[in-house]
Amino acid sequence: MDRIRIRGGNRLAGTINISGAKNAALPLMIVSLLTPETLTLTNVPRLADVRLLQRILQNHGVDIMIAGKRPGQNGQQGDTKQLSAKTIADTTAPYELVSKMRASFWVLGPLLARCGEAKVSLPGGCAIGTRPVDLHLMAMEKLGASIAIEGGYVVATAPKGLRGAHIKFDKVSVGATHAALMASVLARGDTIIENAAREPEVGDVAQCLIKMGARIEGLHSATLKVSGVSSLSGAEHEVIADRIETGTYAMCAGMTGGDVLLKGARPDTLGEVIAVMRRIGIGVDETNEGLRILRNGQALEPIRIDTEPYPGFPTDCQAQLMALMSMARGTSTIRETIFENRFMHVQELVRLGADIHLHGDTAEVHGVAKLTGAPVMATDLRASVSLVIAALAAEGETMISRVYHLDRGFETLEEKLAACGADVTRIAGN
């Protein structure tokens, strides 16, 4: 297994290209199940999760080609993928595949909408919490599906097709919103989705569906109105820039007192993150090319924050913020309200010298003057990258093992950081 070695202390300066968003690319690829025509996605990040989903979709009969670069595209941009689900070969998503990546459960809605049946393994638990799928199932039932749980699988049928419905979520869920949207676009009649997630990735998927012929109103709001159509066509769509990668590199730059241009970043999708950076004392300037992040000697100010659904501060940046606040001048309070167990990074940050105490869903982070390198272990995607942030500022060497977690969601992380002056090396495992 690969490891990443970081020798801390270098100030980051330069340009980092922001990749396409993992959490938009995954549902966009799943959208391809809704049409027999070709869906072309550009700016698809090269990530382990994308490759895994590709295998899952191929199992359903989706033909996937990686096209060459187009005129005007440069080497920094992600892949162009052409996905064609001419026929659905298999409506079962097996446990062996779904258990490796939760988002693959989201094939349930499109398979049901297109084929009237789907058998999808329940995803099981994961490192950040129990993560149930009750809201997904409620949405499918409202749309007219019959659901049974058999041998660890959700068996869903709608022999006469899905019909429009009023779906009201009692909790904001990104995945359940994707599911309701993807299923209702091909349902008969109108659907209202209330308390929908407003994450930019949901808007990106909705925009792609509209290009394919779907009729959706209320984009980026908490109430989506869908008028079902009988079929969807192919389309071409560019995956939106990754706001979590943007926030992460902003914190890397802030942590090292750097000056970094995040090229291609979309400030309009960052919600609370920009305001939080500024409150901490990190300069954030919107430029024509993206975002410039600058900290020139100012201290990091402590902060009190709760994670929230978009546009609030994202749970996917919580671990990174905690690493940053570990060197603030004073005590920060970070409350995790989305997932009950997303504090796996705390003990590893403590190994680097951070002073963090957990009280239920809240972490109290007492800023320290110095962190010191140590061997640490990556536990989940965002937790892993929080260790990178801490290591960039720590004295001496940090060796991060189990970096396959990082590879799930950060494209060429060590190259991007090294290009800005970080001393970071990947050590290939055997």
> What are 413's two structure tokens?
């992380």
CB burial class (10 A; 0-12, 13-18, 19+) of residue 401?
A: middle
Residues 125/335, Cβ–Cβ less than 8 Å: no
Nearer to ligand EPZ, 16 or 106 (CB): 106
Confirm or reject binding of residue 198 to ligand EPZ (CB under 6 A).
no
Residue of the chain from 16, 28, 56, 135 that contacts ligand EPZ (CB under 6 A): 135
What's the CA gap between 302 and 10, in Å, rounded?
23
Report angle CA 295, 296, 299 to the nearest 5 degrees.
Answer: 75
Residue of the chain from 35, 43, 173, 386 that contacts ligand EPZ (CB under 6 A): 173
Say how many residues touch ligand EPZ, by CB under 6 A. 23
Site for ligand EPZ in 43-72 (CB under 6 A): none
Residue of the chain from 119, 136, 142, 351 that contacts ligand EPZ (CB under 6 A): 136
Residues 55/62, Cβ–Cβ less than 8 Å: no
Sheet of 304-306: strand order equals 304-306, 331-335, 362-366, 355-359
Confirm or reject binding of residue 139 to ligand EPZ (CB under 6 A).
no
208 is catalytic: no
Confirm or reject binding of residue 175 to ligand EPZ (CB under 6 A).
yes
Nearer to ligand EPZ, 316 or 328 (CB): 316
Confirm or reject binding of residue 176 to ligand EPZ (CB under 6 A).
yes
- Residue with token string 């902060």: 303
Query: Smallest distance from the beta carbon of 167 to ligand EPZ, in angstroms?
Result: 12
Helix (H) or strand (E) holding 59: helix 48-59
Residues 395/9, Cβ–Cβ less than 8 Å: yes
Query: Smallest distance from the beta carbon of 119 to ligand EPZ, in angstroms?
Result: 18
Residue of the chain from 23, 42, 84, 318 that contacts ligand EPZ (CB under 6 A): 23
Query: Smallest distance from the beta carbon of 117 to ligand EPZ, in angstroms?
Result: 21
Closest CA to 185 of 217, 157, 156: 217
Confirm or reject binding of residue 142 to ligand EPZ (CB under 6 A).
no
Residues 360/341, Cβ–Cβ less than 8 Å: no
Nearer to ligand EPZ, 239 or 338 (CB): 338
Nearer to ligand EPZ, 37 or 308 (CB): 308
> What are 322's two structure tokens?
């905690």
What's the CA gap between 79 and 319, in Å, rounded?
28
Active site residues per annotation: 126
List residues near ligand EPZ by CB under 6 A.
23, 26, 102-103, 129, 131-136, 171, 173-176, 315-316, 338-339, 381-382, 409
